[in-house]
Structure 1
Protein backbone atom coordinates (compact mmCIF):
# COMPACT_ATOMS: atom_id res chain seq x y z
CA UNK A 1 0.00 0.00 0.00
CA UNK A 2 1.33 3.43 -0.97
CA UNK A 3 1.59 6.10 1.71
CA UNK A 4 0.14 9.45 0.74
CA UNK A 5 -0.06 12.47 3.00
CA UNK A 6 -3.61 13.61 3.64
CA UNK A 7 -5.21 15.83 6.26
CA UNK A 8 -8.34 15.46 8.33
CA UNK A 9 -10.05 18.62 9.55
CA UNK A 10 -12.98 18.95 11.91
CA UNK A 11 -14.83 22.07 10.78
CA UNK A 12 -16.70 24.01 13.47
CA UNK A 13 -19.45 24.81 10.95
CA UNK A 14 -20.17 21.39 9.39
CA UNK A 15 -22.97 22.74 7.17
CA UNK A 16 -20.35 24.78 5.31
CA UNK A 17 -17.79 22.67 3.45
CA UNK A 18 -14.59 24.40 2.41
CA UNK A 19 -13.40 23.51 -1.09
CA UNK A 20 -10.04 21.75 -1.13
CA UNK A 21 -8.75 24.42 -3.49
CA UNK A 22 -9.31 27.14 -0.85
CA UNK A 23 -7.54 25.11 1.82
CA UNK A 24 -4.66 24.40 -0.56
CA UNK A 25 -4.35 28.09 -1.56
CA UNK A 26 -4.11 29.10 2.09
CA UNK A 27 -1.53 26.43 2.91
CA UNK A 28 0.59 27.31 -0.14
CA UNK A 29 1.06 30.78 1.37
CA UNK A 30 2.13 29.35 4.73
CA UNK A 31 3.98 26.09 3.99
CA UNK A 32 6.61 24.77 1.58
CA UNK A 33 5.16 22.73 -1.30
CA UNK A 34 6.36 19.37 0.05
CA UNK A 35 4.40 19.87 3.31
CA UNK A 36 1.02 20.40 1.63
CA UNK A 37 -1.13 17.26 1.84
CA UNK A 38 -2.27 15.61 -1.36
CA UNK A 39 -5.78 15.05 0.02
CA UNK A 40 -8.10 16.75 2.48
CA UNK A 41 -10.95 15.14 4.40
CA UNK A 42 -13.44 17.33 6.25
CA UNK A 43 -15.32 15.80 9.16
CA UNK A 44 -17.97 17.02 11.58
CA UNK A 45 -15.69 15.80 14.36
CA UNK A 46 -12.66 13.57 14.73
CA UNK A 47 -13.38 10.01 15.94
CA UNK A 48 -11.85 9.39 19.36
CA UNK A 49 -10.77 6.29 21.27
CA UNK A 50 -11.84 5.65 24.85
CA UNK A 51 -8.62 7.47 25.87
CA UNK A 52 -9.66 10.63 23.98
CA UNK A 53 -7.03 10.16 21.31
CA UNK A 54 -7.79 10.26 17.58
CA UNK A 55 -8.99 6.84 16.44
CA UNK A 56 -6.95 6.50 13.25
CA UNK A 57 -8.65 3.24 12.29
CA UNK A 58 -12.05 4.97 12.26
CA UNK A 59 -10.92 7.76 9.94
CA UNK A 60 -12.40 7.51 6.44
CA UNK A 61 -10.19 7.14 3.38
CA UNK A 62 -9.88 10.32 1.33
CA UNK A 63 -11.86 10.59 -1.91
CA UNK A 64 -8.98 10.59 -4.37
CA UNK A 65 -11.15 11.22 -7.39
CA UNK A 66 -12.56 14.65 -6.60
CA UNK A 67 -10.07 16.62 -4.53
CA UNK A 68 -9.39 19.49 -6.85
CA UNK A 69 -12.95 20.76 -7.15
CA UNK A 70 -12.29 21.16 -10.88
CA UNK A 71 -14.97 19.99 -13.30
CA UNK A 72 -13.88 16.99 -15.38
CA UNK A 73 -12.74 17.94 -18.86
CA UNK A 74 -12.10 15.07 -21.29
CA UNK A 75 -9.00 14.90 -23.51
CA UNK A 76 -9.49 16.56 -26.89
CA UNK A 77 -6.63 15.12 -28.93
CA UNK A 78 -4.01 12.39 -29.22
CA UNK A 79 -1.44 14.11 -26.99
CA UNK A 80 -3.91 14.81 -24.18
CA UNK A 81 -5.25 11.23 -24.36
CA UNK A 82 -1.75 9.81 -23.98
CA UNK A 83 -0.82 12.13 -21.12
CA UNK A 84 -4.09 11.26 -19.32
CA UNK A 85 -3.25 7.54 -19.68
CA UNK A 86 0.23 8.10 -18.24
CA UNK A 87 -1.09 10.12 -15.29
CA UNK A 88 -3.84 7.60 -14.54
CA UNK A 89 -1.31 4.77 -14.51
CA UNK A 90 1.26 6.62 -12.35
CA UNK A 91 -1.23 8.23 -9.93
CA UNK A 92 -3.64 5.28 -9.78
CA UNK A 93 -6.65 7.59 -10.22
CA UNK A 94 -9.39 7.52 -12.86
CA UNK A 95 -10.68 9.62 -14.47
CA UNK A 96 -8.24 12.50 -14.73
CA UNK A 97 -9.34 15.58 -16.63
CA UNK A 98 -7.09 17.83 -18.68
CA UNK A 99 -7.45 20.73 -16.22
CA UNK A 100 -6.40 18.76 -13.13
CA UNK A 101 -3.12 19.74 -11.50
CA UNK A 102 -0.63 16.87 -11.22
CA UNK A 103 0.50 17.83 -7.73
CA UNK A 104 -3.03 18.38 -6.42
CA UNK A 105 -3.92 14.89 -7.63
CA UNK A 106 -1.23 13.35 -5.40
CA UNK A 107 1.78 13.67 -7.67
CA UNK A 108 5.22 14.02 -6.10
CA UNK A 109 8.79 14.29 -7.33
CA UNK A 110 9.26 10.53 -7.80
CA UNK A 111 6.01 10.17 -9.74
CA UNK A 112 6.97 13.26 -11.72
CA UNK A 113 10.21 11.60 -12.86
CA UNK A 114 8.24 8.59 -14.10
CA UNK A 115 5.68 10.76 -15.93
CA UNK A 116 8.32 12.95 -17.60
CA UNK A 117 10.28 9.88 -18.69
CA UNK A 118 7.16 8.27 -20.20
CA UNK A 119 6.12 11.47 -21.97
CA UNK A 120 9.59 11.96 -23.44
CA UNK A 121 9.65 8.36 -24.63
CA UNK A 122 6.16 8.36 -26.21
CA UNK A 123 6.42 11.76 -27.91
CA UNK A 124 10.15 11.61 -28.65
CA UNK A 125 10.59 14.95 -26.94
CA UNK A 126 12.85 16.32 -24.24
CA UNK A 127 10.69 18.12 -21.69
CA UNK A 128 12.41 18.82 -18.38
CA UNK A 129 11.23 18.72 -14.81
CA UNK A 130 11.21 22.52 -14.87
CA UNK A 131 8.97 22.49 -17.96
CA UNK A 132 6.57 20.20 -16.12
CA UNK A 133 6.44 22.50 -13.07
CA UNK A 134 5.65 25.40 -15.41
CA UNK A 135 2.84 23.34 -17.06
CA UNK A 136 1.33 21.25 -14.22
CA UNK A 137 -1.92 20.29 -15.95
CA UNK A 138 -2.51 18.21 -19.07
CA UNK A 139 -3.97 21.04 -21.13
CA UNK A 140 -0.89 23.25 -20.60
CA UNK A 141 1.53 20.36 -20.94
CA UNK A 142 0.02 19.23 -24.26
CA UNK A 143 0.16 22.80 -25.55
CA UNK A 144 3.81 23.03 -24.45
CA UNK A 145 4.66 19.75 -26.23
CA UNK A 146 2.95 20.96 -29.41
CA UNK A 147 4.74 24.31 -29.26
CA UNK A 148 8.15 22.69 -28.80
CA UNK A 149 7.39 20.28 -31.65
CA UNK A 150 6.41 23.15 -33.95
CA UNK A 151 9.53 25.09 -32.94
CA UNK A 152 11.55 22.11 -34.15
CA UNK A 153 9.76 22.38 -37.52
CA UNK A 154 8.17 18.94 -37.20
CA UNK A 155 4.80 18.09 -38.56
CA UNK A 156 2.29 18.31 -35.66
CA UNK A 157 -0.75 17.49 -37.80
CA UNK A 158 -0.52 13.85 -36.68
CA UNK A 159 -1.12 14.88 -33.06
CA UNK A 160 -3.95 17.34 -33.55
CA UNK A 161 -7.12 15.32 -33.87
CA UNK A 162 -9.79 17.66 -32.57
CA UNK A 163 -13.13 15.93 -32.14
CA UNK A 164 -16.09 17.66 -33.75
Structure 2
Protein backbone atom coordinates (compact mmCIF):
# COMPACT_ATOMS: atom_id res chain seq x y z
CA UNK A 1 0.00 0.00 0.00
CA UNK A 2 2.86 2.40 0.83
CA UNK A 3 4.71 1.59 -2.39
CA UNK A 4 1.50 2.03 -4.37
CA UNK A 5 0.98 5.46 -2.81
CA UNK A 6 4.54 6.49 -3.71
CA UNK A 7 4.12 5.11 -7.24
CA UNK A 8 1.36 7.67 -7.77
CA UNK A 9 3.58 10.64 -6.89
CA UNK A 10 4.83 12.45 -10.02
CA UNK A 11 8.28 13.24 -8.58
CA UNK A 12 9.20 9.54 -8.31
CA UNK A 13 10.33 7.07 -10.94
CA UNK A 14 10.55 4.01 -8.67
CA UNK A 15 10.48 3.04 -5.02
CA UNK A 16 10.63 0.14 -2.61
CA UNK A 17 9.80 0.08 1.11
CA UNK A 18 11.53 -2.23 3.57
CA UNK A 19 11.53 -2.85 7.32
CA UNK A 20 14.89 -2.40 9.05
CA UNK A 21 15.96 -2.62 12.67
CA UNK A 22 17.70 0.60 13.71
CA UNK A 23 18.94 1.22 17.25
CA UNK A 24 16.83 -1.70 18.44
CA UNK A 25 13.62 -0.44 16.83
CA UNK A 26 11.95 -1.67 13.65
CA UNK A 27 11.41 1.19 11.22
CA UNK A 28 10.03 1.58 7.72
CA UNK A 29 12.62 2.73 5.19
CA UNK A 30 11.63 4.05 1.77
CA UNK A 31 14.21 3.77 -1.03
CA UNK A 32 13.18 6.21 -3.75
CA UNK A 33 14.38 7.10 -7.25
CA UNK A 34 13.54 10.57 -8.54
CA UNK A 35 11.82 11.14 -11.85
CA UNK A 36 13.99 12.27 -14.76
CA UNK A 37 13.30 16.00 -14.37
CA UNK A 38 13.63 16.02 -10.54
CA UNK A 39 17.00 16.62 -8.88
CA UNK A 40 16.31 16.87 -5.14
CA UNK A 41 13.24 15.21 -3.67
CA UNK A 42 11.05 17.03 -1.15
CA UNK A 43 10.89 14.44 1.65
CA UNK A 44 8.29 16.25 3.82
CA UNK A 45 6.07 16.50 0.73
CA UNK A 46 6.40 12.75 0.13
CA UNK A 47 5.53 12.05 3.77
CA UNK A 48 2.44 14.26 3.52
CA UNK A 49 1.46 12.47 0.32
CA UNK A 50 1.58 9.08 2.06
CA UNK A 51 -0.42 10.44 5.01
CA UNK A 52 -3.26 11.35 2.65
CA UNK A 53 -3.42 7.75 1.40
CA UNK A 54 -2.40 5.68 4.43
CA UNK A 55 -2.59 5.76 8.20
CA UNK A 56 0.16 7.81 9.95
CA UNK A 57 2.00 4.77 11.33
CA UNK A 58 2.61 3.61 7.75
CA UNK A 59 4.71 6.67 6.87
CA UNK A 60 8.38 5.60 6.57
CA UNK A 61 10.64 7.31 9.09
CA UNK A 62 13.64 7.26 6.71
CA UNK A 63 13.78 8.12 3.00
CA UNK A 64 16.91 7.22 1.04
CA UNK A 65 17.28 8.62 -2.47
CA UNK A 66 19.07 6.35 -4.95
CA UNK A 67 20.14 6.74 -8.57
CA UNK A 68 18.38 3.45 -9.29
CA UNK A 69 17.10 0.35 -7.51
CA UNK A 70 19.33 -2.76 -7.53
CA UNK A 71 17.67 -5.44 -9.65
CA UNK A 72 17.91 -9.20 -9.96
CA UNK A 73 18.25 -10.87 -13.39
CA UNK A 74 14.48 -11.46 -13.40
CA UNK A 75 13.84 -7.71 -13.02
CA UNK A 76 12.70 -7.81 -9.40
CA UNK A 77 14.27 -5.57 -6.76
CA UNK A 78 17.29 -7.11 -5.06
CA UNK A 79 16.42 -6.18 -1.48
CA UNK A 80 19.64 -7.69 -0.14
CA UNK A 81 21.62 -5.17 -2.22
CA UNK A 82 19.82 -2.10 -0.84
CA UNK A 83 22.16 0.14 1.20
CA UNK A 84 21.99 -0.23 4.96
CA UNK A 85 19.90 2.57 6.50
CA UNK A 86 22.51 3.38 9.16
CA UNK A 87 25.22 4.10 6.59
CA UNK A 88 22.88 5.86 4.17
CA UNK A 89 21.30 8.21 6.69
CA UNK A 90 24.70 9.00 8.24
CA UNK A 91 25.87 10.01 4.76
CA UNK A 92 22.74 12.14 4.31
CA UNK A 93 23.26 13.77 7.70
CA UNK A 94 26.85 14.64 6.82
CA UNK A 95 26.08 16.29 3.46
CA UNK A 96 27.19 19.94 3.39
CA UNK A 97 28.10 19.65 7.07
CA UNK A 98 27.35 22.83 8.97
CA UNK A 99 28.72 23.04 12.49
CA UNK A 100 26.76 24.60 15.39
CA UNK A 101 27.24 28.36 15.64
CA UNK A 102 26.13 28.94 19.23
CA UNK A 103 25.56 27.05 22.52
CA UNK A 104 21.87 26.47 21.76
CA UNK A 105 22.62 24.79 18.42
CA UNK A 106 25.40 22.71 20.04
CA UNK A 107 23.06 21.51 22.79
CA UNK A 108 20.23 20.66 20.36
CA UNK A 109 22.74 18.89 18.09
CA UNK A 110 23.93 16.69 20.97
CA UNK A 111 20.32 15.81 21.84
CA UNK A 112 19.43 14.94 18.23
CA UNK A 113 22.50 12.75 17.78
CA UNK A 114 21.67 10.90 20.98
CA UNK A 115 18.01 10.32 20.15
CA UNK A 116 18.59 9.44 16.48
CA UNK A 117 21.61 7.27 17.24
CA UNK A 118 23.90 8.82 14.61
CA UNK A 119 26.82 11.23 14.72
CA UNK A 120 27.92 14.03 12.43
CA UNK A 121 24.51 15.59 11.81
CA UNK A 122 24.66 18.94 10.05
CA UNK A 123 22.66 21.69 11.71
CA UNK A 124 20.90 22.36 8.39
CA UNK A 125 19.90 18.72 7.78
CA UNK A 126 16.19 17.90 7.65
CA UNK A 127 15.89 15.81 10.82
CA UNK A 128 12.71 14.12 9.61
CA UNK A 129 14.45 12.76 6.52
CA UNK A 130 17.07 10.87 8.56
CA UNK A 131 14.79 9.07 10.99
CA UNK A 132 13.03 11.78 12.96
CA UNK A 133 9.40 11.02 13.78
CA UNK A 134 6.77 11.85 16.41
CA UNK A 135 8.51 9.72 19.06
CA UNK A 136 11.79 11.50 18.34
CA UNK A 137 9.99 14.84 18.71
CA UNK A 138 8.66 13.82 22.13
CA UNK A 139 12.13 12.74 23.32
CA UNK A 140 13.70 15.94 22.01
CA UNK A 141 10.99 18.02 23.69
CA UNK A 142 11.71 16.34 27.04
CA UNK A 143 15.45 16.97 26.68
CA UNK A 144 14.92 20.62 25.74
CA UNK A 145 12.53 21.14 28.64
CA UNK A 146 14.97 19.56 31.10
CA UNK A 147 17.95 21.64 29.95
CA UNK A 148 16.45 25.00 29.01
CA UNK A 149 13.08 25.10 30.78
CA UNK A 150 11.76 26.69 27.58
CA UNK A 151 8.12 26.46 26.54
CA UNK A 152 8.72 24.68 23.22
CA UNK A 153 6.04 22.08 22.53
CA UNK A 154 6.12 18.80 20.62
CA UNK A 155 3.93 20.45 17.99
CA UNK A 156 6.53 23.22 17.61
CA UNK A 157 9.27 20.65 16.99
CA UNK A 158 7.15 18.72 14.48
CA UNK A 159 6.59 21.92 12.50
CA UNK A 160 10.34 22.56 12.20
CA UNK A 161 12.88 20.73 10.07
CA UNK A 162 16.41 21.53 11.24
CA UNK A 163 18.53 22.02 14.33
CA UNK A 164 19.00 25.66 13.30
CA UNK A 165 15.24 26.28 13.39
CA UNK A 166 14.68 24.45 16.67
CA UNK A 167 17.64 26.13 18.39
CA UNK A 168 16.50 29.57 17.22
CA UNK A 169 13.04 28.95 18.65
CA UNK A 170 14.47 27.71 21.96
CA UNK A 171 16.75 30.75 22.19
CA UNK A 172 13.86 33.09 21.41
CA UNK A 173 11.61 31.48 24.03
CA UNK A 174 14.36 31.59 26.67
CA UNK A 175 14.99 35.28 26.03
CA UNK A 176 11.31 36.23 26.05
CA UNK A 177 10.20 34.05 28.96
CA UNK A 178 13.30 34.10 31.13
CA UNK A 179 14.82 31.05 32.86
CA UNK A 180 12.77 28.77 35.10
CA UNK A 181 9.53 30.51 34.20
CA UNK A 182 6.38 28.46 34.71
CA UNK A 183 5.18 26.94 31.44
CA UNK A 184 1.74 26.49 29.96
CA UNK A 185 1.47 22.95 28.64
CA UNK A 186 -0.54 21.96 25.60
CA UNK A 187 -1.98 18.55 26.35
CA UNK A 188 -3.43 17.92 22.90
CA UNK A 189 -0.56 17.52 20.45
CA UNK A 190 -1.27 16.88 16.74
CA UNK A 191 1.31 14.45 15.34
CA UNK A 192 -0.20 14.88 11.88
CA UNK A 193 -2.26 17.77 10.55
CA UNK A 194 -3.05 16.29 7.13
CA UNK A 195 -5.28 13.51 5.86
CA UNK A 196 -9.02 12.99 5.51
CA UNK A 197 -9.54 9.89 7.65
CA UNK A 198 -10.98 9.96 11.20
CA UNK A 199 -8.34 11.04 13.76
CA UNK A 200 -6.69 8.55 16.09
CA UNK A 201 -6.39 9.99 19.60
CA UNK A 202 -3.86 8.52 22.03
CA UNK A 203 -3.75 9.42 25.70
CA UNK A 204 -1.86 8.44 28.84
CA UNK A 205 -4.04 7.69 31.88
**TM-score normalized by the length of structure 2:** 0.60
**Deviation of 1:32 (Å):** 1.8
Q: Is the Cα contact below 8 Å between 1:6 and 1:41 reproduced in 2?
A: no
2:157 & 2:39 partners in 1: Cα distance? 28
Distance 1:103 1:81, change over 3 A: same
Contact kept, 8 Å, 2:43 with 2:63, in 1: the verdict is no
Residue 85 of structure 1 and its aligned partner are, at CA, apart by 0.6
Q: 1:69 to 1:84 in 2, by over 3 A?
A: closer
Q: Provide structure 2 residue ranges, at least 5 long, that are not aligned to the other structure.
A: 1-20, 180-205
- Alignment counterpart, residue 104 of structure 1, candidates 113, 129, 148: 129
Return the alpha-carbon distance in structure 2 between the equivalents of residues 109 and 25 of structure 1.
13
Please give the root-mean-square deviation of Cα atoms over the aligned residues, in Å. Answer: 3.1
**Partner Cα separation in structure 2 for residue 81 and residue 137 of structure 1:** 13
**Deviation beyond 6 Å, 4+ runs, structure 1:** none
Aligned match of 1:159: none
Residue 160 of structure 1: aligned partner? none
Aligned length: 150
In structure 1, the partner of 2:165 is 140
Q: Which runs of 5+ in 1 are unaligned?
A: 155-164
Q: Relative to 1, partners in 2 of residues 1:4 and 1:18: Cα closer, same or farther, differing over 3 Å?
A: farther
Equivalent pair of 1:116/1:128 in contact (CA under 8 Å): yes
User: 8 Å contact 1:98–1:139 — kept in the other structure?
Assistant: yes
Q: Alpha-carbon deviation of 1:83?
A: 0.7
1:82-135 deviations in Å (ceiling 9; x for gaps): 110110011112111211222112111112111110111011223211111233
Using the alignment, how far apart are the partners of 2:161 and 2:27 within structure 1? 19
Q: Secondary structure in 2 aligned to 1:4?
A: strand
- Is 2:30–2:64's contact at 8 Å kept on the other side of the alignment? yes
* Deviation per residue, 1:28-61 (Å, 9 max, x gap): 563328425512242544332x776433223222
In the superposition, relative to structure 1, how do residues 69 and 28 fare at CA in structure 2: closer, same or farther (>3 Å)?
farther
User: More relative contact order in 1 or in 2 (CA 8 Å, sep 6+)?
Assistant: 1
SS state at 1:111 partner: helix
